[in-house]
Amino acid sequence: MCSSQRSTSSALPITPERLVAYDGGCPFCRRSIATLLHWQARDATGLFVLDSPLARRLGAHFGEDPAPHDSSWLIEAGRLYRDSDAGWRLARHFRWPWRALAALRWVPPPLRDGTYRLIARNRHRFQPGLADADRAAIDARRVESLRVADCIALGLPESLAEQ
């Protein structure tokens, strides 16, 4: 049986429908993740940080390097989406009115990605506070490893599960 090492596994959905990777050392990024958790329509998102062993494992699978930490990843239905593609795809899972952000998919990718990179380069200048409840919500959804059931639900090969 595969193990599941999660900080608070009881708060995480039995199997996440999507995974989101972010820069865990960035206050702006953590605030953005707290906002995502607040506005998602269903509690079905697992989180991991880009400097984790899980990020390296998934990065190797998808041919992506998690080391720069200036990106966000969305893993859903067996695919990895980065940056602005991850953003608008995540917005599809928000409650209204924030779900309207999914319309960003119609903005030309060079403009979307250019704006994303501008924000990513300057994100450490923003120092939004994070309430204890938000920290707890993020920690409760932190995924350290994948189980076979997680891989199946995410459309990933079962070989990515921890043995």
CB 19 within 8 A of CB 46: yes
For the entire predicted model, the pTM comes to 0.84
Reported as a pLDDT band with limits 50, 70 and 90, residue 5 is very low
Residue 84 vs residue 42, higher pLDDT: 84
Q: What is the pLDDT of residues 81-135, one digit of tens each?
A: 999 999 999 999 999 988 888 898 899 989 998 888 888 887 777 776 678 888 8
Residue 25 vs residue 90, higher pLDDT: 90
Burial of 125 (0-12, 13-18, 19+ CB in 10 A): exposed
- pLDDT of 122 reads 79
Confidence check: pLDDT of 4 > 50: no
Least confident of 6-10, 15-19, 134-138, 152-156: 6-10
